[in-house]
Amino acid sequence: MWGMIATWRMAFEGVSKGAEMLEAGSNAGDAVEAAIREVEDFPYYKSVGYGGLPNEEMEVELDAAYMDGDTLDVGAVAAIKDYANPVSIARRLSRETVNSVLVGEGAEKFAHKEGFERKNMLTDRAKAFYRKRRKEVAGQELKPYSGHDTVGMVCLDDGGKVTAATSTSGLFMKKKGRVGDSPIVGSGFYADSKVGGASATGLGEDLMKGCISYEIVRLMKEGLHPQEACERAVNLLDAELKERRGKAGDLSLVAMNREGQWGVATNIEGFSFAVALKGQKPKVYLAKRGEDGRCTFEEASREWMEDYMRTRMAPVEE
């Protein structure tokens, strides 16, 4: 059995590519890396890799991570600038026994020494979004804007290996040096080939408060189906945050176990995700949480898929 699940519609092309690789016998490490690179390279996805939205100082600082569920190796980079594929740097770092999580300049030095491709990741389109945003908030304090998305994936190969990986430009207009959940093991991602994996998107500052990806894998280890595990962990964190802090940020999770069963949970409207399984075509689904806290989903219609691409590629009106 092989399978892949990933956050957001934007992962679809990557998941499709990963699925082809898995079908052809690739391992879950190569497939998840290739799948995330596909998302990083596409300039119209404004929250991951090339074309990602910048921080307050108009710099694109990227976070990414990789975890190998066989060895529990983790590698991550945070606030890295000017490199094309942060996920590949993270995967390379996962093979180090120490110094496997690097930030900023240290991460860039490592990437340079290892010969990773340098690239100015700030596109004209991202600059236009930045200028527009500055105008909208002229005279007010710049606040991070959370309306954009991290790609987080879990991958299972035919040999039973589970991996997880993430990549993001984090919150638009974030402070320089801000690090979200995506490169933090247990929060943005977790993989254990004996159990399964999970990955998150949403407000990093809140996702981290629940170590939510680890929590989901832990619940799966106790025997819960990935759907039950996701719902239980997300609903509990959402409730705890509301009780203690009056509100909860966006929390959306995907998970897959070592049998290829999968689950999702979210506390927002409009969470989309992509799934590929052996013997089935890759699909995009839209999820929502019902009054009872259960998460339901349906396959995205063709109109929805077309509209998504149209809006992603529409000119930026400044």
Span from 15-23, 24-32, 96-104, 177-185 in contact with ligand SD4 (CB under 6 A): 177-185
Kindly report the backbone phi and psi dihedral angles of residue 195, in degrees, each rounded to the nearest multiple of 5, phi listed first. Answer: -130, -65
Strand partners, 39: none
The span from the first CA to the last CA of the chain, in angstroms, equals 48
**Shortest approach of ligand SD4 to residue 78 CB, angstroms?**
10
**Shortest approach of ligand SD4 to residue 193 CB, angstroms?**
25
- Does position 49 bind ligand SD4 by CB under 6 A? no
Q: What does the DSSP 8-state code read for residue 40?
A: H
Q: Which of 7, 123, 150, 201 is catalytic?
A: 150
Q: How far apart are CA 227 and CA 86, in angstroms?
A: 30
Nearer to ligand SD4 (CB atom), residue 29 or residue 180:
180
Tokens linked to 53: 């939205």
- By CB under 6 A, the residues from 194 to 213 that bind ligand SD4 are 201-204
Contact with ligand SD4 (CB under 6 A) among 88, 163, 182, 272:
182
- Does position 69 bind ligand SD4 by CB under 6 A? no
Sheet holding 62-68, edge to edge: 101-103, 73-80, 62-68, 162-168, 151-156, 3-7, 271-277, 283-289, 295-299
Distance of CA 193 to the CA centre of its chain: 19
* Residues with Cβ within 8 Å of residue 24, at least 6 apart in sequence: none
- Does position 193 bind ligand SD4 by CB under 6 A? no
Contact with ligand SD4 (CB under 6 A) among 61, 157, 181, 215:
181
Nearer to ligand SD4 (CB atom), residue 56 or residue 228:
56
- By CB under 6 A, the residues from 103 to 162 that bind ligand SD4 are 148-150
Nearer to ligand SD4 (CB atom), residue 39 or residue 203:
203
Element (H, E) at 266: strand 262-266
Tokens linked to 213: 């990806």
Size of the site for ligand SD4 (CB under 6 A): 13
Nearer to ligand SD4 (CB atom), residue 150 or residue 257:
150
- Does position 266 bind ligand SD4 by CB under 6 A? no
Contact with ligand SD4 (CB under 6 A) among 171, 212, 251, 255:
171
Residue 150 a catalytic site member: yes
Nearer to ligand SD4 (CB atom), residue 73 or residue 250:
250
Q: How far apart are CA 133 and CA 130, in angstroms?
A: 5
Q: Which amino acid is at 142?
A: L
Nearer to ligand SD4 (CB atom), residue 27 or residue 266:
266
Q: How far apart are CA 99 and CA 89, in angstroms?
A: 13
**Shortest approach of ligand SD4 to residue 150 CB, angstroms?**
3
**Shortest approach of ligand SD4 to residue 149 CB, angstroms?**
4
Tokens linked to 286: 């839209």
- From the number of C-beta atoms within 10 Å of its C-beta (0-12, 13-18, 19+), residue 298 rates as exposed
The closest of 293, 258, 313 to 125, measured between CA atoms, is: 313
Q: How far apart are CA 202 and CA 252, in angstroms?
A: 6
Query: Could you list the active site residues?
Result: 150
Residues within the interface to ligand SD4 (CB under 6 A): 148-150, 168, 170-171, 180-182, 201-204
